[in-house]
Amino acid sequence: MKTILKVAVQKSGRLSEASLKLISECGVSFPARIAKLKAQAFNFPVELLYLRDDDIPGYVADRVSDVGIIGENVLLEKGVKLEVVQRLGFSKCRLCIAVPKDFNYQGNTSLQGLNIATSYPRILGDYLEKNGVKAHIHQISGSVEIAPSIGLAEAVCDIVSTGSTLVSNGLVEVETLLKSEAVLVAHPHLEEEKQQILEQLLFRIRSVKAANNNKYILLNAPNEAIDKITSLLPGMRSPTVLPLAQPGWSSLHSVVNEDDFWEVIEKLRQAGAEGILVVPIEKMIL
């Protein structure tokens, strides 16, 4: 019987969309999504399980699924011992403590004796204990940000992406407990055949991530500027330099990290680069 790696993903929501997009970019294709809880890939030994994100750590721990894509915040809150095999870089957020904007906050000692509403009692409890703060944790499953306005709590501990929801409810962030992103987790004792499939999938994921984080650039430059421009374009090893038909000029090709892109482009222009073209990279094999 052919070995299949079972991958659990969130069945709906932004994390689900980003997870399925990544898997698709890895060249893994699935049947059109219908009202089913699982689907097997056409061209890769992977089966997707569509689950609630809160359930994914437990399913992986119990070997119902071999690996799963979840938010790091969910993994830590569940307290399940799984291996984080790849940080994925999307669905970034932070877990923060927030208080009403007119609250006179003087550091975490100001939380002493307060009622704090949260959907993350484990993480919040660990934070309070670590900092020697005694507070009352009220666990609620949703709409945490309205707790102060209805008199349930004086502070909240909740996931924040942009912070606009807190602001609209008259709250301000005062402490950051955790910075989270989507992670690929695996059972720590996978069978050898499944581990091999996981390594193949990880190779594809890392190639896609590397491509998304870099840009391919092409430019023309006078030969006397090549050394200066080359020092600005290390690329994967070093820039490719090709002579142009026009004497005294060359074309340089390289890769620039997305985070450094605009700063590097400005330096290239100052060094004499012309006709700079920027091309997205679909895959990048390191």
Whole-angstrom Cα distance, residue 136 to residue 10? 31
CATH-assigned architecture of domain 214-280: 2-Layer Sandwich (3.30)
For 5-90+181-211, CATH gives: 3.40.190.10
Averaged pLDDT in 10-residue chunks for the chain of 286 residues: 92 91 93 80 94 94 96 94 95 95 93 96 96 95 89 94 89 95 96 96 94 90 92 76 93 89 90 90 83
Q: Are 26 and 201 in contact (CB under 8 A)?
A: yes
- Give the per-residue pLDDT at 236: 63
What is the DSSP pairing of strand 240-243 with strand 249-257?
A: antiparallel
Domain ranges of the chain: 5-90+181-211, 93-180, 214-280
pLDDT at 97: 96
How far is Cα 46 from Cα 261, in angstroms, rounded to an integer? Answer: 36
> For position 235, what pLDDT does the model report?
61
For residue 226, what is the enclosing H or E element? helix 226-232
- Provide the pLDDT for residue 213: 87
Structure tokens belonging to residue 10: 């969130």
Helix runs in 134-221, H state only: 164-168, 192-212
pLDDT at 14: 87
61: amino acid identity, one letter: A
Sign of CA dihedral 102, 108, 114, 117: positive
Phi, psi for 46 (deg, rounded to 5)? -135, 140
Domain 93-180 matches domain 214-280 at the CATH topology level:
no
Architecture of domain 93-180: 3-Layer(aba) Sandwich (3.40)
Amino acid at residue number 5: L
- C-alpha R_g of the chain: 24
